[in-house]
């Protein structure tokens, strides 16, 4: 009998098992991708599929209008503008599309590619703005060839416009296009191509100024042509915002400052409202609306004239003689002097074995405090510096708002610097020497202030110790009384310093250039060295000085503060005081009211 022959099926079973595993894995992968498409990425593909028959267009909202304090002069407005965007999803080959679009838009391919690359990580169906501020001719050319360029879409937008060009540019600020980083962080609710405030009022009040966008949902065909309208939500513009700026004062301040380098600040002494804020050189904020290329931005930022720097808030200078009122207030409050304390000025004096000079070489003779302020005598204040400790000076400077931000409601403000023993120990690892205090007593040495700080200090002196926070939005004037703070220094001490400032303007003192008849201007001038006396004599060159003026009017119930800084302007009395005089006169003429007629 023949035994049956059995075939060994083990290899076949192994191969079948392997095939089964492979098929199972492939099936699992297919199921995973179906799950990913249907569940995980449902929203993305639903949006894409809907976009084949509907198109949602954002209707940009215009920004709130900015006006002067009277509300009748528009400082920042909106105009209708056209822009063209590219939708990458509608292109077969992006590079070929850019090459075809380049001559139509009059832009180099490199510039187009640069704009596209900036937003390359965003979804393909998102429009990317490639050119804005289109003329009507450009719009008609693009619309006329819409069938040839389905990737291009024309949109309208309200464009920010500053009708007076560079007028109050540093106060108003400028807008810039949001970067991809901005869209991922602080502006998650905004879209590519949007502009937002970066500096000044535009930046500080961005959420108050930006409107609420509307939207339009359209039915479109395969070529992107509108067939029907499903939904429309109109954009909402926010109410206009009135600033504290006085148009006439601002215009004159800019006119008087043109061609110089410096800053002018005028404050409402009763509220802290900024009546004028001028900085020169300046810029035209309209240019920022047209989307700078990186090269254009670098060129502007590196301009040696630094037009983007707001010298009123960001310029830090030695105060020179306009620091003397602060010295006088401290010495009076400490009881080191009275207003009748006299010192003799012979044109120079020895302190700690070293000669210190007065600006008036023949000398002023014997002076009390009001006369020392009127004549701005250095020797008088050198004597105060010998009697006061640097930490006492720093304490009173701090009480008057120096060496710290004023809290003005726009960004970029610098703190300045008031030296002290602790400051020198920390920064230089050395003790403070009494001889250094002599220079600080006349506003020299490491002391640094901004024009806005000086204006705020002057307003505090004018108000006999009451301090208002500087601000640029008119509605904050109503809150000024609530936010006002009061120093512990007695009002009578401020009155004694004000007497000297009044004499400076009205009794042929250094501030006489600011005198205005029947307005009781109180003034203090200053000139700060940019190189020391010894250095100028050693090198045989003329000393260059910055010109300062600060003052207020009228003496009783003060209304306006004016502070002026002119870089390399020379003497403060000759260069800055006459400018202040014209601003005081304009304010007086504008606010004087003729008395009613007493009869026919």
Q: pLDDT tens for residues 362-373?
A: 999 999 999 999
CATH architecture assigned to 54-242: Alpha-Beta Complex (3.90)
Task: Give burial (CB, 10 Å; 0-12/13-18/19+) of 340.
Answer: exposed
Does pLDDT of 264 surpass 80? Answer: yes
What confidence score (pLDDT) does residue 596 get? 43
What confidence score (pLDDT) does residue 437 get? 96
What confidence score (pLDDT) does residue 58 get? 77
Backbone angles phi, psi at 100, to 5 degrees: -75, -35
Average pLDDT, integer, range 44-54: 60
247-299+307-591 CATH pick, 3.90.1150.10, 3.40.710.10, 2.40.30.10, 3.40.190.10 = 3.40.710.10
Average pLDDT, integer, range 102-130: 82
pLDDT per residue over 337-370, tens digit each? 999 999 999 999 999 989 999 999 999 999 999 9
pTM across the whole model = 0.83
Average pLDDT, the chain: 87
Task: Please report, for residues 86, 155, 276, 500, the alpha-carbon distance to residue 582 in angstroms, rounded to integers and kept in the order given.
Answer: 54, 48, 14, 21
What confidence score (pLDDT) does residue 543 get? 56
Q: Please tell me which residue, 164 or 122, carries the higher pLDDT value.
A: 164
- How far is residue 313's CA from residue 264's CA, in Å, rounded to a whole number? 10
Q: Please tell me which residue, 396 or 192, carries the higher pLDDT value.
A: 396
- How far is residue 515's CA from residue 144's CA, in Å, rounded to a whole number? 66
List the end-to-end C-alpha distance of the chain, in Å, as a whole number: 157
Residues annotated as part of the active site: 321
What confidence score (pLDDT) does residue 5 get? 54
**79-83, 268-272, 527-531 — most confident range:** 268-272
Does pLDDT of 277 surpass 60? Answer: yes
Q: Under a CB-based contact definition with an 8 Å cutoff, are residues 316 and 448 in contact?
A: yes
* Sequence ranges of the domains in the chain: 54-242, 247-299+307-591
Average pLDDT, integer, range 386-408: 96
- How far is residue 308's CA from residue 298's CA, in Å, rounded to a whole number? 12
- How far is residue 244's CA from residue 560's CA, in Å, rounded to a whole number? 13
pLDDT band at 59 (very low <50, low <70, confident <90, very high): confident
What confidence score (pLDDT) does residue 535 get? 43
């Amino acid at each position: 009998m023949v035994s049956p022959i059995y075939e060994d099926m083990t290899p076949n079973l192994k191969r079948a098992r392997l095939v089964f595993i492979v098929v199972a894995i492939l099936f699992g992968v297919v199921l995973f991708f179906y799950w990913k498409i249907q569940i995980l990425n449902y929203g993305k593909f639903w949006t894409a599929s809907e976009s084949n028959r509907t198109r949602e267009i954002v209707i940009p909202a215009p920004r709130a209008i900015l006006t002067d304090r009277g509300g009748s002069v528009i400082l920042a407005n909106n105009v209708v503008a056209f822009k063209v965007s590219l939708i990458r999803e509608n292109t077969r080959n992006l590079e070929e599309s850019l090459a075809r679009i380049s001559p139509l838009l009059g832009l180099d391919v490199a510039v187009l590619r640069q704009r596209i690359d900036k937003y390359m990580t965003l979804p393909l169906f998102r429009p990317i703005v490639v050119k804005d501020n289109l003329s009507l001719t450009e719009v008609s050319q693009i619309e006329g060839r819409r069938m040839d360029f389905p990737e291009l879409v024309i949109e309208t937008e309200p464009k920010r416009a500053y009708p007076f060009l560079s007028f109050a540019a540093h106060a108003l600020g400028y807008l810039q296009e949001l970067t991809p980083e901005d869209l991922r962080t602080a502006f998650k609710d905004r879209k590519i191509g949007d502009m937002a405030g970066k500096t000044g009022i535009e930046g500080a009040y961005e959420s108050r100024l930006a409107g609420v966008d509307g939207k339009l949902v359209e039915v479109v065909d395969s070529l992107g042509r509108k067939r029907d309208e499903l939904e429309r939500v109109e954009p909402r513009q926010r109410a206009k915002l009135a600033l504290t700026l006085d148009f006439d004062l601002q215009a004159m301040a800019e006119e008087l400052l043109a061609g110089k380098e410096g800053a002018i600040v005028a404050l409402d002494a009763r509220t802290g409202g900024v009546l004028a804020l001028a900085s020169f050189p300046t810029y035209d904020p309209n240019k920022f609306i047209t989307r700078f290329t990186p090269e254009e931005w670098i060129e502007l930022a590196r301009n040696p004239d630094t037009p983007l720097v707001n010298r009123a808030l960001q310029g830090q200078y030695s105060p020179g003689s306009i620091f003397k009122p602060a010295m006088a207030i401290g010495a009076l409050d400490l009881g080191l002097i009275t207003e009748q304390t006299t010192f003799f000025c012979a044109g120079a004096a020895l302190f700690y074995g070293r000669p210190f000079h007065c600006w008036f070489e023949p000398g002023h003779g014997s002076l009390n405090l009001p006369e020392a302020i009127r004549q701005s005598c250095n020797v008088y204040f050198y004597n105060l510096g010998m009697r006061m400790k640097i930490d006492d000076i720093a304490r009173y400077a701090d009480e008057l708002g120096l060496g710290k931000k004023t809290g003005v409601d726009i960004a970029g403000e610098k703190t300045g610097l008031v030296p002290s023993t602790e400051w020198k120990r920390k920064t230089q690892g050395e003790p403070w020497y009494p001889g250094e205090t002599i220079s600080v007593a006349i506003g020299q040495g490491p002391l640094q202030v901004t024009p806005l700080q000086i204006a705020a200090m002057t307003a505090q002196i004018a108000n006999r110790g009451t301090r208002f926070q500087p601000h640029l939005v008119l509605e904050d004037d109503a809150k000024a009384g609530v936010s006002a703070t009061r120093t512990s220094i007695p009002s009578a001490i401020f009155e004694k310093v004000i007497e000297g400032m009044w004499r400076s303007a009205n009794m042929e003192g250094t501030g006489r250039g600011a005198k205005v008849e029947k307005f009781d201007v109180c003034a203090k001038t200053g000139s700060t060295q940019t190189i020391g006396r010894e250095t100028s004599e050693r090198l045989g060159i003329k000393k260059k000085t910055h010109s300062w003026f600060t003052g207020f009017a009228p003496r009783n119930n003060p209304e306006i503060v004016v502070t002026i800084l002119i870089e390399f302007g020379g003497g403060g009395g000759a260069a800055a005081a006459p400018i202040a005089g014209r601003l005081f006169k304009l304010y007086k003429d504008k606010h004087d009211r003729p008395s009613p007629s007493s009869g026919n």
